[in-house]
């Protein structure tokens, strides 16, 4: 009797450690929000389900195949514990799609119709061969002319009927073939679309009792990025400039974004949960910055972005060390089509003043410059900008925000009323050799003409070379009272021109160096490519 009691106690004790494992449960889930980074995106999804006591396996299908295994977080409500998380590819994603099966059924039905028509055509072609054989046989049989004429009429009528019927069926076969081709193209596109969301997330959970629970999924995906885009609107009669901050969103994740909250962020800090380490900050002539390689062009294809990106297929963006986020107030529909969709982020107004600038060594035009103050507070990053001046589109340029100046200078167009010309003075520029030393004399003249009947101010920039070797000497002869930066060699003239006035600036200097270095001297000359027609 004691043995039976002891066995019962042992069985009860063992049973208290047993955990019942329930069948797999397919969970319906929905996308509730997206945070788009400069190199990927984070999805926020939820699913409602009920679990029994013990272990349950929850299956989330139709997950973007661009999911990154290191960027997933899972939480559950009502005391349900997460046991494990596993990501797999759905090998039967086509077979499990009712839409794909319907297309396949349509193609098969049309193929059957084509086969039946081919059988009919084959039968009628055999009848045609039979009639032709009999016609030739009857021609060798002795008959009256009336019988021969009647036989010819019969064979002609019968063969015409058969030929017409074959032609009708062949047209039907062609139409069926065209319809099948259209459906097969739809099938290929659908297959590609389904392949982009063929991942499965399997989550094992444990619950002490049967209960309803909400599963919250956060995971990173590739093939979704955003790029900054700006519009700057300026008026010469206003001391304010309007900066429209926009974003181009690219979504090729396989999942459409239907009226869900969208957040734009610069730096993705969600993927790595390890303790961050701060390396020594060394100054090497460049600002402390983050370099992002952003995939450009076609985002279609399989998930192959976990490694390094091909430099020929990327944009390089420079981002300050700030974790800026933009909560987009309006909800948008962003389909998974791998094309840019532009949305508004914010609109700013900033103080601005205008001046005219020309650097005739590079370009002989005069440019109207909008100089924007307090621009660093906007949290802008490198990006393309559309320029509007006095409500007229002036063109597109690329802004680099990594500046140390207090003002952001943007060209809003050319000033055609100012004519600038820079030329090398013949006879004044020459080269001489004395011993083992070469001395080159350079002299340039810059002429500035105001074609307006009103006075105008303009800033002219040029430069003299800077020696980085003790063996090379630079001697300045004449800079026409320009302001000289001794570190960069930059020259600045600020001119006030009366109506129709012309001013000329002189720039002359000499370069002295050993003759052994004659092929090492770089004068920063420009070059252009010209097409050949011979």
Q: What is the domain count for the chain? A: 3
Instruction: State whether 201 and 217 are in the same domain.
Output: yes
Instruction: State whether 145 and 158 are in the same domain.
Output: yes
Mean pLDDT confidence for 328-332: 87
Distance of CA 483 to the CA centre of its chain: 44
Tokens 């081709």 belong to which residue? 181
Instruction: State whether 205 and 70 are in the same domain.
Output: yes
Q: When comparing pLDDT for 341 and 280, which is higher?
A: 341
* Residue 308 within any structural domain of the chain: no
β-pair partners for 48: 214
In this model, does residue 115 exceed pLDDT 60? yes
Phi, psi of 15 (to 5 degrees): -65, -30
What does the mean pLDDT of the chain come to?
Answer: 80
Instruction: State whether 87 and 103 are in the same domain.
Output: no
Comparing 189-198, 207-216, 449-458, the range with the smallest average pLDDT is: 189-198
* Residue 374 within any structural domain of the chain: no
CA distances (Å), origin 364, targets 278, 360, 419, 461, 509: 48, 4, 8, 11, 21
CB atoms within 10 A of CB 518: 12
Q: Are 461 and 492 in contact (CB under 8 A)?
A: yes
DSSP code of residue 416: T
In this model, does residue 356 exceed pLDDT 90? yes
Instruction: State whether 425 and 455 are in the same domain.
Output: yes
Mean pLDDT confidence for 287-312: 42
Q: Are 75 and 82 in contact (CB under 8 A)?
A: yes
pLDDT of residue 502: 95
Q: How far apart are CA 351 and CA 242, in angstroms?
A: 9
∠ Cα 484 490 492 (to 5°) = 65
Q: Domain of residue 35: give its range.
A: 19-93+197-221
pLDDT of residue 85: 93
Q: How far apart are CA 30 and CA 48, in angstroms?
A: 10
CA distances (Å), origin 49, targets 60, 207, 214: 11, 13, 7
CB atoms within 10 A of CB 223: 25
In this model, does residue 201 exceed pLDDT 50? yes
* Residue 167 within any structural domain of the chain: yes
Tokens 């062609």 belong to which residue? 174
pLDDT of residue 256: 94
Instruction: State whether 187 and 202 are in the same domain.
Output: no
In this model, does residue 189 exceed pLDDT 70? yes
Confidence class for position 430, pLDDT limits 50, 70, 90: low
Please report the beta strands in 235-281, taking only residues with DSSP state E, as ranges in sequence order: 240-251, 257-260, 262-265
CA distances (Å), origin 522, targets 364, 468, 476, 479, 488: 22, 12, 18, 21, 15
Q: How far apart are CA 480 and CA 462, in angstroms?
A: 12
Q: How far apart are CA 265 and CA 345, in angstroms?
A: 12
Mean pLDDT confidence for 131-140: 65
Q: How far apart are CA 329 and CA 225, in angstroms?
A: 19
- 302 exposed, middle or buried (CB, 10 Å; 0-12, 13-18, 19+)? exposed
- The rounded percent of the chain whose pLDDT value lies above 90 is 38
Confidence class for position 289, pLDDT limits 50, 70, 90: very low
Phi-psi region of 395 (alpha: psi -120 to 50; beta: other; left: phi over 0): left
pLDDT of residue 254: 92
- pTM assigned to the model: 0.68
Q: Are 198 and 66 in contact (CB under 8 A)?
A: no
Instruction: State whether 436 and 503 are in the same domain.
Output: yes
Instruction: State whether 424 and 500 are in the same domain.
Output: yes
Confidence class for position 251, pLDDT limits 50, 70, 90: very high
DSSP per-residue string spanning 272-318: --SPP-------SSS-S-EEEEEE-S---SSS--SSPPPGGGEEEEE
Q: When comparing pLDDT for 435 and 340, which is higher?
A: 340
pLDDT in tens, 259-272: 999 999 876 655 55
CB atoms within 10 A of CB 204: 16
User: For residue 489, what is the domain's CATH number?
Assistant: 2.60.40
End-of-domain residue from the set 178, 195, 212: 195
pLDDT in tens, 35-44: 998 888 999 9
User: Which among 448, 455, 457 is positioned nearest to 499, based on CA atoms?
Assistant: 455
Q: How far apart are CA 44 and CA 46, in angstroms?
A: 7
* Residue 299 within any structural domain of the chain: no
Instruction: State whether 216 and 69 are in the same domain.
Output: yes
Q: Are 226 and 38 in contact (CB under 8 A)?
A: yes
CB atoms within 10 A of CB 297: 10
Phi, psi of 164 (to 5 degrees): -65, -40
Q: How far apart are CA 317 and CA 345, in angstroms?
A: 19
Q: How far apart are CA 320 and CA 373, in angstroms?
A: 18
Phi, psi of 519 (to 5 degrees): -95, 5
Q: Are 114 and 175 in contact (CB under 8 A)?
A: no
Instruction: State whether 184 and 201 are in the same domain.
Output: no
pLDDT of residue 408: 85
Confidence class for position 302, pLDDT limits 50, 70, 90: very low
pLDDT in tens, 65-79: 999 988 899 999 999
In this model, does residue 416 exceed pLDDT 60? yes
* Residue 429 within any structural domain of the chain: yes
Phi, psi of 238 (to 5 degrees): -130, 145
Instruction: State whether 79 and 212 are in the same domain.
Output: yes
Tokens 């029994």 belong to which residue? 52
Tokens 């063996």 belong to which residue? 471
Q: Are 472 and 511 in contact (CB under 8 A)?
A: yes
In this model, does residue 521 exceed pLDDT 50? yes
* Residue 486 within any structural domain of the chain: yes
In this model, does residue 364 exceed pLDDT 50? yes
DSSP per-residue string spanning 118-129: HHHHHHHHHHHH
Mean pLDDT confidence for 216-237: 90
Please report the beta strands in 320-405, taking only residues with DSSP state E, as ranges in sequence order: 325-327, 332-334, 341-359, 363-373, 383-389, 392-399
Q: When comparing pLDDT for 300 and 116, which is higher?
A: 116
Instruction: State whether 202 and 113 are in the same domain.
Output: no
* Residue 240 within any structural domain of the chain: no
CB atoms within 10 A of CB 177: 13
* Residue 529 within any structural domain of the chain: no
Mean pLDDT confidence for 121-139: 77
Confidence class for position 161, pLDDT limits 50, 70, 90: confident
């Amino acid at each position: 009797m004691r043995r039976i009691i002891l066995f019962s106690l042992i069985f009860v004790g063992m049973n208290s450690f047993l955990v019942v494992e329930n069948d797999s449960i397919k969970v319906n889930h929905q996308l509730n929000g997206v945070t788009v980074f400069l190199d990927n995106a984070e999805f926020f999804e939820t699913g409602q389900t009920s679990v029994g006591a013990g272990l349950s396996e929850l299956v989330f299908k139709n997950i973007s195949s661009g999911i990154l295994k290191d960027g997933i977080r899972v939480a559950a409500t009502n005391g349900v514990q997460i046991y494990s998380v596993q990501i797999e590819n759905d090998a039967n994603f086509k077979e499990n799609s009712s839409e794909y099966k319907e297309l396949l059924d349509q193609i098969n039905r049309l193929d059957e119709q084509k086969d039946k028509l081919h059988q009919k055509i084959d039968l009628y072609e055999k009848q045609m061969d039979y009639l032709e054989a009999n016609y030739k046989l009857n021609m060798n049989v002795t008959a009256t002319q009336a019988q021969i004429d009647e036989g010819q009429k019969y064979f002609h009528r019968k063969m015409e009927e058969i030929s017409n019927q074959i032609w009708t069926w062949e047209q039907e076969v062609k139409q069926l073939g065209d319809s099948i081709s259209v459906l097969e193209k739809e099938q290929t596109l659908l297959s590609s679309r389904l392949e982009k969301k063929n991942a499965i997330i399997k989550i094992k959970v444990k619950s002490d009792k049967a209960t309803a629970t909400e599963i919250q999924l956060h995971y990173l995906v590739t093939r979704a990025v955003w790029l900054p885009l700006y519009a700057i609107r300026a008026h010469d009669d206003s001391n304010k400039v309007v900066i429209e901050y926009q974003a181009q969103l690219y979504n090729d994740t396989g999942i459409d974004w239907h009226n869900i909250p969208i957040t734009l962020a610069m730096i993705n800090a969600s993927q790595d949960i390890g303790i961050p380490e701060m390396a020594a900050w060394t100054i090497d002539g460049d600002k402390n910055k983050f370099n992002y390689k952003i995939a450009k062009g076609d985002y279609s294809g399989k998930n192959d972005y976990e490694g390094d990106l091909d430099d020929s297929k990327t944009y390089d963006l420079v981002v300050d060390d700030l974790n800026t986020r933009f909560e987009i107030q309006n909800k948008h529909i962003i389909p998974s089509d791998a094309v840019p969709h532009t949305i508004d982020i914010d609109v700013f107004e900033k103080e601005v003043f205008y001046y005219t600038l020309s650097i005739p060594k590079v370009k002989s035009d005069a440019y109207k410059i909008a100089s924007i103050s307090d621009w660093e507070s906007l949290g802008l990053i490198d990006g393309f900008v559309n320029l509007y001046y006095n409500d007229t589109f002036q063109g597109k340029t690329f802004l680099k925000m990594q500046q140390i100046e207090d003002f952001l200078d943007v060209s809003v167009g050319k000033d055609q009323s100012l004519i600038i010309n820079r030329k090398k003075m013949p006879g004044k520029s020459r080269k001489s050799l004395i011993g083992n030393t070469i001395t080159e004399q350079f002299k340039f003249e810059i002429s500035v003409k105001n074609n307006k009947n009103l006075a105008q101010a303009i800033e002219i920039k040029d430069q003299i070379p800077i020696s980085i070797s003790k063996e090379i000497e630079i001697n300045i002869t004449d800079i026409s009272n320009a302001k000289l930066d001794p570190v960069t060699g930059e020259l600045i003239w600020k001119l006030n021109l009366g109506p129709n006035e012309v001013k000329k600036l002189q720039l002359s200097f000499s370069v002295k160096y050993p003759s052994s270095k004659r092929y090492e001297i770089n004068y920063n000359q420009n070059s252009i490519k010209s097409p050949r027609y011979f």
